[in-house]
Amino acid sequence: MGVRRGASVTPNDSPEVADLRHERDILAQAQELANVGAWEWQLDAHTLWLSDQAFRIFGHDDRVELVTRDWFLGHIHPDDREELWRSVEATSARDGRFDYSHRVLRPDGSIRHVRARGRVTEFDGDRPVTMLGTVMDITDETLLQQERDRAVVALAASEQRHRLLAENAWDVIWTMGLDGSITYVSPSVQRMRGITPEEAMAQAPQEIHPPESLARVGDYYSRLFQAIAAGTELPTFHGEQEYYRKDGSIMYGELDVVPQVDADGNVVQILGVTRDISERKRLERELNRLAHTDPLTGVWNRRHMEALLAQAIADARATGVTLSALMLDIDRFKQTNDRHGHRAGDEVIVELVRRVSQVLPRSAVLCRWGGEEFVVLCDRCSQAGAVELPEQLRQVVAAEPFEELGAVTVSIGVAQQREGDDVAAWIHRADEAMYRAKQAGRNTVVADGGPA
């Protein structure tokens, strides 16, 4: 029924199962492409679930049936185990977020550097019981960072070598005097930002960074100069920053800033290295889009919509906003596929999304729930208002015949969110109302509790 089939989809799968299998394939491929694995930790049972990519990061091509805490800690470098475990316990104790880089000791004796992130997702009362997170293999980046650190030391040791490396570096290398003036910018700034080194040296901070990035570097320099004045430990900077290009577009850069000191420990200048990561950020956005949208129509997929619905319920409890959910189902869609083929079915789904999107208010959210079913989240919408909108949707779908297929209609169920509802209960009522619309003859709208 309009499903783009992946490797694990079988001919006997229902549309819903096929959609779920295909979504799982996309997520698995995205994890492998980004070299990011997922994990879930049952704190009481001391057991973990790892995704296939997480097992590969830990050096296992095959899944392990039972992953215990001891199994997990046995794969952590001995020098990192104690601090890692303290971080996990501290996170679970304060309901915070876990973000820790450590080394993995693989069964073949090799060592990988990883970054683990997570947070507590389930509680039993005040007691945390489940943590969910990701693990990313950052070995290449870590080794590269170590190389860059060694390069920084080498640059500080010899002005001649500094100039030689800087003039030929792909990254932008720059130096700043203690008075805040830029004293050197390497030629690669022209490739990266479209301006000459001389133009870069003359720019004011607000001409270099958008406001948010400007605030971050401003805060760092304030802390750095305070530390210099107080004779305390000198902070360094590592983070992602936005830069203005000459044409006004935004370049994403990874910035490292290190104060350089002489043999007596006095700061003589500030050294910075900026790497263009714009392509990496574009790929990250694309992976995020693939993980959260329906590949055929481009609207949100069910997994992301469930998260949006859950957040909407939480917000409504805090603000009192009225919410309604609309469940749309294309009438006799199986007959369309049987008579005209799945390609025609896909075209119907795409055209339906186009028509519906033209009518929806900007505050409404549309998703493809599965197969020929769609869900609309109607924000600040009373029961009466939530029936007017689906009637408009029903009419815009049925108003004009679909090219080469004739008339296409939808049945729509409407359910207002009630106190105590979770996502499943709320959508179930909308689904039941939609089926009553089918029983009433199709091409109609039925609200939860009775006909529209």
Q: Which of 372, 400, 404, 419 does the annotation list as catalytic? A: 372
Strand partners, 175: 184, 271
Check if 159 is active-site.
no
Q: Quick check: 188 and 169 in contact, CB under 8 A? A: yes
Q: Quick check: 259 and 270 in contact, CB under 8 A? A: yes
Please tell me the distance from the alpha carbon of residue 136 to that of residue 428, in angstroms, as a whole number. 37
Is beta strand 410-416 parallel, antiparallel or unpaired with respect to 445-447?
parallel
> What distance lies between CA 118 and its chain's CA centroid?
14
DSSP 136: E
Output the CA–CA distances (angstroms, integers) from residue 83 to 90, 146, 178, in the order listed: 10, 21, 37
State both tokens at 423. 């996502």
DSSP 246: T
State both tokens at 338. 């049987």
Please tell me the distance from the alpha carbon of residue 59 to that of residue 109, in angstroms, as a whole number. 10
Q: Quick check: 91 and 97 in contact, CB under 8 A? A: yes
Mapped to the 3 state alphabet, what secondary structure does 61-89 carry?
CCCCCCEEHHHHHHCECHHHHHHHHHHHH
Contacting residues for 364 by C-beta, under 8 A, at least 6 apart: 376, 377, 378, 379, 389
Residue 369 φ/ψ, nearest 5 degrees: -75, -35
Question: 103: closest CA among 122, 128, 127, 84?
Answer: 84
Across 17-37, b (16+ Cβ under 10 Å) vs e yields ebbbbbbebbbbebbeebbbb
State both tokens at 277. 């990561």
Find the Cα–Cα–Cα–Cα dihedral 231, 232, 236, 242, rounded to 10°: -80
* Dihedral sign from CA coordinates of 385, 386, 387, 392: positive
Contacting residues for 437 by C-beta, under 8 A, at least 6 apart: 411, 412, 413, 444, 445, 446
Q: Which residues are catalytic?
A: 372
